[in-house]
Chain A
Amino acid sequence: MTWLWGNFPLVVDLTLNHIRLSIIPIVLGFLIAIPLGRVTLTGRFARGTVITAMSLLYTIPSLPLFVILPAILGTRVLSDTNLIVALTIYAVAIMVRATSDAFFSVSGETKQAATAMGFSAWRRFWQVEFPLAGPVMLAGLRVVSVSTIALVSVGVLIGSENLGYLFTNGKQRNNLEEVGVGIVATLLIALLFDLILVAAGRILMPWARVDRAAQRRGKRAVVAAPLAAGGTEPTAAADEVSPRGRA
């Protein structure tokens, strides 16, 4: 532990920057994935195009994507912008699947009921579809959060200052503790973000919990059922069939 105590301020600095570099892509990815995910409901062609495009983007390995972006964006190779844009692209690629599933999980009857009550398309989306899609979107967002935080460290190879610095520096100095501290700190950030997301979900979507508790008891929660109809399928993005990490 000697290394950690001697370099504590450095670790704190890198951690804070790591958090900053993670938050932007997570938030941007979520925001961009909402309209893209909703578009997939409009038809087979739109869905096929969006999902395939996202899968292809996700296939591009990270370091190559980091260094390809300067040619497209006109940025310098060693600029944080490349990292943030690349991570946002990955976040969108993962998140669109989740938002698409989430909007699909909102039952047609519920939407028809909203229309019948005179909701405009715009209001129906924000007041009915969006909240009901929440639990599945949250599951996807948790995946995005964890994988983005893990990926940020690769940015050190293109000069970004984050916890990845402890990996390259630790490797150069053959200091195993330094590398270990970097791994643990990354995991702690991921854990913290996950706890925040889960807490936010509980506060913003109390009905999801009621419904799940009811399912556990094997009963039908009469009160919560209409609200949560189809909205709480726990499978979707959480246990994505092939959860692919990233490098």
Chain B
Amino acid sequence: MNLFLDAIAWIFAPQNWQPGGVSPLPIQDRLLEHLLYTVVAVVIAAAIALPLGFYIGHTGRGRQFVIGFTGAMRALPTLGVLFFLTMVLGALVKGNSGIFWGTTVALVLLAIPSILAGAYAGLESVSRPAIDAARSIGMTEMQILTRVEIPLALPLIIGGLRAGTLQVIATAVIASYAGLGGLGRIISSGIGLNDYDRILGGAILVTAFALVVDALFAIVQRLTRGPGAVSGGRGNRFRRRASRPETVVETPTQERNVTA
């Protein structure tokens, strides 16, 4: 436990927050960089993946594409993709902006599958009668999408954004090895200096950052769960299944409590 206390002491040491520190310091600069990379990558990825996911979810066209694409993307080693793209784009754009855009393209690419799958699965899970009802009262396809499907699918759509964002935060950590700033810098410089307080301090900072972002998304997800909205988030898959009443014939054994 002592190691953790040392690391926490390192995080809160005032000299590590002093502006104008050496290399990975001060901490707040790296924190802001990490936030910036994350926001830029997620916004671009959402701008690409959400419309595509809505189109596929609304029309039902290209389902196989989504399933195949998200599966294949999961198999890609993030570190390799990151280095490959920074090398390719680094050759095209000179200097630091080459590294920034190279890693941003990689982060965007890695965030797209989760966001796409969330948007598609969200729309897919909206009840068909609700959509038929909307169509029968004369809504246009666009109105059905924006007034029925998206609001009802919102928890799952945000769930996709949440997964994508966490993926970006995690990948941005290793992007420090491609020359990017951010919190990963603290860990990589600590490994280089063999300074475990710094390594652990950096790791705790990143973990805290990821958990805070995850918690914020969880709150937003909960707030968007209006009446009739499809359930999203953790452990709710069972609730849907459980809501289907079963015919109980005889005295149940204990698993009846679970399934019914």
Interface residue ranges, A against B (CB under 8 Å): 41-43, 47-48, 51-52, 55-56, 59-65, 67-68, 70-71, 77, 101, 104, 107-108, 111-112, 115, 143, 146-147, 149-154, 156-158, 163-164, 166-168, 170-171, 174, 176, 179-180, 182-183, 186-187, 190-191, 239, 241-247
Contacts and interface: CB of A to CB of B under 8 A. Distances in A.
A60 B187 CA distance: 14
Given A63-B170, A147-B75, 14 more contacts: A42-B258, A52-B235, A60-B210, A67-B187, A71-B200, A111-B253, A157-B79, A168-B83, A179-B84, A183-B81, A242-B114, A243-B117, A244-B114, A245-B114
Contacts of A143: 74
A67 B77 contact: no
B224 interface: no
> DSSP majority for the B interface?
helix
A51 B234 contact: yes
Contacts of B252: 108, 112
A162 B87 CA distance: 21
A150 B200 contact: no
Contact of B110 (A48, A64, A147, A245): A245
7 contacts: A43-B258, A64-B187, A70-B196, A164-B79, A190-B75, A242-B118, A247-B78
Given A167-B80, A247-B110, A68 B200 contact: yes
A150 B188 contact: no
Contacts of B190: 67
| A43, A70, A174, A245 — most chain B CB neighbours (10 Å) | A245
Interface of B: 3-4, 7, 67, 70-71, 73-81, 83-84, 86-88, 110, 113-114, 117-118, 121, 156, 159-160, 162-164, 166-167, 169-174, 177-178, 184, 187-188, 190-191, 196, 199-200, 202-204, 206-207, 210-211, 214, 232, 234-235, 237-238, 241, 246, 252-253, 255-260
B203 A246 contact: no
Given A179-B87, A243-B113, A67 B159 contact: no
Nearest to B85: A179
Contacts of A241: 117-118, 121, 156, 159-160, 232, 237
A157 B210 contact: no
B167 A245 contact: yes
A67 B199 contact: yes
Contacts of B160: 241-242
A186 B80 contact: yes
A100 to B, nearest CB: 8
Contacts of B214: 59
A187 B76 contact: yes
Nearest to A110: B255
Contact of B74 (A51, A146, A158, A174): A146
A170 B206 CA distance: 27
Contacts of B235: 47-48, 51-52
B162 A242 contact: yes
A154 B117 CA distance: 25
Contact of A239 (B67, B88, B174, B184): B67
| A143, A147, A191, A247 — most chain B CB neighbours (10 Å) | A247
Contacts of A158: 191
B199 A247 contact: no
A243 B80 contact: no
A208 B114 CA distance: 28
B238 A179 contact: no
B210 A61 contact: yes
B177 A157 contact: yes
B113 A245 contact: yes
B234 A52 contact: yes
